[in-house]
Amino acid sequence: KEYSHMLDAFVALSMAAAVTKTLRLGTGVMLAAQRDAIWTSKQISSLDFLSNGRVEIGVGVGWNQDELESHGSVFRERWDRTREVAEAMRVMWRNEVAEYDGDLVKVPPTWQWPKPVQPGGPKIHLGGGTGPRLLGEVAKWADGWMPISARPSLANRLKMLEEACDKVGRDWRTLDVSVFGANTTVDGLCNLFEEGITRAILTLPPEGPEVILPLLDEWATTKRMN
């Protein structure tokens, strides 16, 4: 029920942007292969502009074939389409007149404003597990990796990421590693940061402030320990 009742990400993030000043705003994850590149680029750049540069975008390729195809996408093309949507958005964020000619995504000469506050646009993090295809894509074009894991250690997965980056001549430490659904124990969180992750994304239960606020206090204390 939680999954099927989620709010639209950009509507919810716009509301969060309006009542905060420093909170980072992100999607976890947006299924880019199911979205129009021009419209999505506009939504993201507008949110980054209004929030004074606080946006980061998590994208995924999707797993539900029926869902993908109901949006007009071809399941076997989802990896390439995700990459091309990301590339097209960056072109629109970074150029006064943007044009992109991919195999699956086409953007004719386009003017799109406002530009994001962050130079070059928000970071794009590719989410998922640790398969060779995913880590290879992360190494080639993403700004970060967003693994889904509640494990207290990701040492072996980080080694796989390093190997994938080595194949394309990239230093894996130039990537952000944002662990989605991270381990919530103090020891687990401390260990993840010691291993080199950038951030832990912790999921909150659908409860009231009497449950949520103590959790936030505990996690904030853990972060200060690192």
pLDDT tens figures, 61-114: 999 999 999 999 999 999 999 999 999 999 999 999 999 999 999 999 999 999
pLDDT tens figures, 104-126: 999 999 999 999 999 999 999 99
SS (H, E, C) 154-216: CHHHHHHHHHHHHHCCCCHHHCEEEEECCCCCHHHHHHHHHHCCCEEECCCCCCCHHHHHHHH
1-128: CATH homologous superfamily?
Luciferase-like domain (3.20.20.30)
Cα Rg of the chain, angstroms = 18
Total-model pTM: 0.92
Calculate mean pLDDT across residues 9-20: 97
Question: Is 60 exceeded by the pLDDT of residue 226?
Answer: no
| DSSP state at residue 77 | G
Check residues 207 and 89 and name the one with the higher pLDDT.
Answer: 89
Positive or negative torsion for Cα 4, 7, 10, 13: negative
* Domain extents in the chain: 1-128, 148-226
Instruction: Residue 204: name the closest of 221, 180, 177 by CA.
Output: 180
